[in-house]
Structure 1
Amino acid sequence: MTVVKVAILGFGTVGEGVYRTIQSHAEELQAVIGKDVEVAAVLVKNKEKARDIHKDVLVTTNFEEIIQLPKLDIVVEAIVDREPTFTYLKRAIQRGCHIITANKEMFAHHGKELLELAEKKSVSVGFEATVAGGIPVIQTLRQLLQVNRISEIQGILNGTSNFILTEMREKKQTFTESLLQAQKNGYAEADPTNDVEGFDAFYKTMILSRIAFGEEPDWPEVERQGITSISSECIAAVEQVGLRFKHIATISKNGNQIIGSVKPVLVGKDHPFYHVEGVENAVNVFSDIVGRITLQGPGAGMFPTASAIIEDLVYVSLDHKVKRSFTQTTAPLSEQPEEQNLNCWLVQGIDKSLLYPQWKILSEPAEGFLIVEAAKKDLERLAKDHPTVCYFAILDGEFEIASDKKEAATVS
């Protein structure tokens, strides 16, 4: 029986998970692909470090030894940073290998070039693991895009930020305390900037945009806000009205304009993201035929990410050729600019005397906090003039005002 030869670049959490899964699921892989899958080589930083890798596997710190192997079918990349990973994967494609990557930063910057090169070389690119860990978002979009018209995608795409927000609410902790716990649990790096400032979710959003719409928005035009401005007082205040903070990425198309954002927002109990807690990820896909699909599952970790890579391994092994540009089947959205719409917001640090006459106060959940109905452009102007004011959008839904009267208000 023929054999699929695989090289794994990197043997950290993800790389080791891929190696272990190939060993433990050898029979399943053979049944689906019709060939045995064999790890031929592993690229590591330190060759002397003890690892549980079969003696027949080439373990090396030199990528040249891997790319020169007599037979090599698939290169799995599980490193970090844009370089040298981009160069490695270009070399692999030029060699005629299928490639699979879990590197969202590199793929967000260089995915288009890799896809175009792969198309020329008639090989496949797997990148399911770049977005939402073990959730099959990309495979789902590939299926939906055959007929459905995608209008919008929303997602909780970073498990670290979601874990921190959950810890702050459940344990009444500060951001700093919750971040420290995330680092102790191995969810956050020593430098957590990529996660807590929204860069990680931003890169994933750009990848989703290219799949759903065939193109990306101008990166500087995408609103990106992390979770560092959310205080324990904010979380306690919104809990009084049945709302929760979630760090949500959104990508949609309005006419010829693609609109993206990555920012903390508030959701009510009826929103599917309300109960997405800890390191879980979730994605909402809105399309014209099927309506809304919600996918939820583990967003990170050894085996969830390895699962996505293994599914890609099957995908490329079955010779699914890359399409450079995905079909741009997008449903029309409202032509009214978002900043003109009246939406609901949590506003902190505002004196009532500063409120615009056209604003409607819906609730005062705690001292120093208001829930108002207002236009985004007005809030932006107010915050610019008064730096102590901060505000967060409330997504559509219902919330209960916990007051003596137990009134209910509807956010529209």
Structure 2
Amino acid sequence: MSVIKVAILGFGTVGEGVYKTIQSHRDELSAVLGKKVEVVAVLVRNKQKSRNIAESVLVTTDFNDILQLPELDVVVEAIVDREPTFTMLKQSIQKGCHIITANKEMFAHHGQELLELAENQHISVGFEATVAGGIPIIQTLRQLLKINRVSEIHGILNGTSNFILTEMREKKQSFKDALLIAQEKGYAEADPTNDVEGLDAFYKTIILSRIAFGVEPEEHNVELEGITAISSEQIVAAEVLGLKFKHVAVIQKTGTKVTAKIKPVLVGTSHPFYHVEGVENAVNVHSDIVGSITLQGPGAGMFPTASAVIEDLVYVCQNQSRKSMVINAPSQSVNLKEQMKEYWFIQGLNKEYKNINLIERIDHETVIIEAAKLEVEKLKGYNLGIHAYPIIGDYVKVRKGLLVI
């Protein structure tokens, strides 16, 4: 039986998980691929550090050593930062190797260039692990897009933020205390900015947009808001109404334009994200034939992410050609969507406003209203202290009336 030779760049949580999974599932991989899969090289930072790697494997700190291997089929990249990983993967493609990456920041910025370079070289690219950890969302979209027309994608794409919001609600923690717990458990870095300010979810949103619609939203037009402004009081007030805060990315295609927003929203019991707790991720896809489907699972960790990489390993080794991901979504006007009324959780309303459609009052400053986005923006302009969060999904009207404070 012939052999598929693999190099792993990085031997942290993900890299080690990939190595262990290849060892533990070698029979399954052989059965699927008709070939043995063998790790022949691992790139590390510190060669002196003790690792459980077979003696037959080349362990090196110099990527050139890997490039000079006479036989190499697949390069798996599990490092961080845009460079030198982008350059390494370009060189791997030029060498004729299929590539697999778990690096969301790098792929969000340079993925299109890598895909085009790989297509020219007749090389396959796997990037399932860049989005939602162990959830096979990219493979699912590839399958759906053969026939279905996807119009919208919603996602809880950052497990750290979801964990913090869960802790704040279930254990009545402050944001600061919940973040500390996340750091102690290893869910959040010492500098948690990428997670709590939404940057991590933003990178994943860009990648999802590219695979689903073939284009990316204009970066400067993406609405990006993290979870740092959400208070314990707001969470309690929402819980009284049966609502939960979630940090959600929404990608929509309107005509030929793709728009995206990543921000806190509120969901009710009927929404598929209502029961997504802790470090779990979830992605909800709306398409014209199958309707609405939701995938849920662990968003990070050694083996969930390794699972995504291994699925990509099968994908690239079967040498499936990269197909166009562009679809025709129903044409809609962005302006019309902004004029559509929806429910909003408004906190900090301390002035008198007439002709606002009140749905529910929680206290003097906190209400549920029905309004269009443009109306809410106008309301916020009158009162800079207002926090406004959309409620997505069904919301049962408790009462209606005009709000006159």
Shared fold by TM > 0.5? Answer: yes
Partner Cα separation in structure 1 for residue 333 and residue 297 of structure 2:
31
1:408 shift after superposition:
7.0
Give 2:359's aligned residue. 362
The CA distance in 2 between the partners of 1:321 and 1:335, in whole Å, is: 34
| Distance apart, 1:253 and its partner CA | 0.7
Question: Which residue in 2 is equivalent to 1:403?
Answer: none
- Provide the rounded CA distance (Å) in 2 between the counterparts of 1:272 and 1:32: 33
Task: Establish whether residue 52 from structure 1 lines up as the match of residue 52 from structure 2.
Answer: yes
* Corresponding letter in the other structure for 2:161: S
Identify the residue that residue 349 of structure 1 maps to in structure 2: 348
Distance 1:183 1:335 in 2: 39
Unaligned residue ranges in structure 2 (runs of 5+):
401-405
Give 1:70 deviation, angstroms: 1.0
**Distance in 1 of aligned mates of 2:363 and 2:78:** 46
Alignment match, 1:77: 77
Quick check: 2:223–2:262 contact (8 Å CA) kept in 1?
yes
Question: C-alpha deviations, 1:90-123, integer Å up to 9, x for none?
Answer: 0000000000000111001001000000001111
Counterpart of 2:389 in structure 1 is 392
- Aligned-partner Cα distance in 2 for 1:17–1:23: 10
SS at structure 2 position matched to 1:398: coil
Measure, in 1, the Cα distance between the counterparts of 2:76 and 2:258. 31
Query: Alpha-carbon deviation of 1:256?
Result: 1.9
CA 1:27–1:408 in 2, change beyond 3 Å: closer, same or farther?
farther
Distance 2:74 2:12 in 1: 19
Please show how residues 288-367 of structure 1 align to structure 2 within 5 Å: 288-323=288-323, 325-333=324-332, 337-353=336-352, 355=353, 357-367=354-364
Q: Pairwise mapping of residues 105-120 of structure 1 onto structure 2 (< 5 A)? A: 105-120=105-120
Q: Deviations over 1:148-175 (max 9, x none)?
A: 1110000001100000000000000000
* Residues 51/367 of structure 1: CA separation in 2 closer, same or farther (3 Å cut): farther
Cα distance, 1:332 vs structure 2: 3.6
Q: Match for 1:75: what amino acid?
A: V
Structure 1 residues 168-217: Cα deviation after superposition (integer angstroms, max 9, x where no partner): 00000000100011111111111111111001111111111111111011
Taking the TM superposition and a 5 Å limit, the aligned residue runs for 1:187-336 are 187-323=187-323, 325-333=324-332
Matches of 1:408 and 1:57 in 2, distance apart?
68
Determine the structure 1 residue equivalent to 2:152. 152
Equivalent residue number for residue 3 of structure 1:
3
Which amino acid in the other structure matches residue 87 of structure 2? T
Query: C-alpha distance in 2, partners of 1:275/1:302?
Result: 23
CA distance in 2, matches of 1:367, 1:167: 26
Where in structure 1 are there 5+ consecutive unaligned residues? 401-406
Secondary structure in 2 aligned to 1:20?
Answer: helix
For the pair 1:168 / 2:165, whether they are aligned, the reply is no
The aligned counterpart of 2:88 is 88
**Aligned counterpart, 1:131:** 131
Amino acid at match of 1:389: I
Q: Could you give the per-residue CA deviations for residues 310-330 of structure 1, whole angstroms, max 9, x where no partner exists?
A: 00000111111223x423232
State whether residues 26 and 37 of structure 1, in contact with CA within 8 Å, keep that contact through their aligned partners in structure 2. yes
- Amino acid in structure 2 at the alignment position of 1:41: A
Name the amino acid aligned to 2:341: L
Q: 1:367 to 1:48 in 2, by over 3 A?
A: farther
What is the Cα deviation at residue 289 of structure 1? Answer: 0.6
| Counterpart-to-counterpart distance in 1, 2:291 and 2:183 | 38
Q: Is the 8 A contact 2:358 2:368 kept in 1?
A: yes
Q: Which one of the candidate residues 377, 382, 395 is aligned to 2:379?
A: 382
Aligned residues between the structures: 400
Q: Distance in 2 between matches of 1:227 and 1:74?
A: 38
Q: CA deviation at 1:396?
A: 2.5
Secondary structure at 1:5 match in 2 = strand
8 Å CA contact 1:118, 1:322 repeated in 2: no
- The residue aligned with 2:403 is none
Deviation at 1:333, TM superposition (A): 4.1
Per-residue deviation at 1:339? Answer: 2.3
Letter in 1 for 2:286: F
User: Cα offset for 1:343?
Assistant: 1.4
CA contact (8 A) 2:63 2:88 kept: yes
Equivalent-residue separation in structure 1 for 2:59 and 2:322 (angstroms): 30
Contact map agreement 1:346 1:392 (CA 8 A) in 2: yes
- 1:364 deviation in Å? 1.4
Point out the more displaced range, 386-395 or 225-234.
Answer: 386-395
Following the alignment from structure 2 to structure 1, what is the Cα–Cα distance between the partners of residues 14 and 306? 6
Report the counterpart of residue 404 of structure 1 in structure 2.
none
Structure 1 residues 230, 379: CA separation in 2 closer, same or farther (over 3 Å shift)? Answer: same
Name the % identity. Answer: 64
8 Å CA contact 2:254, 2:329 repeated in 1 = no
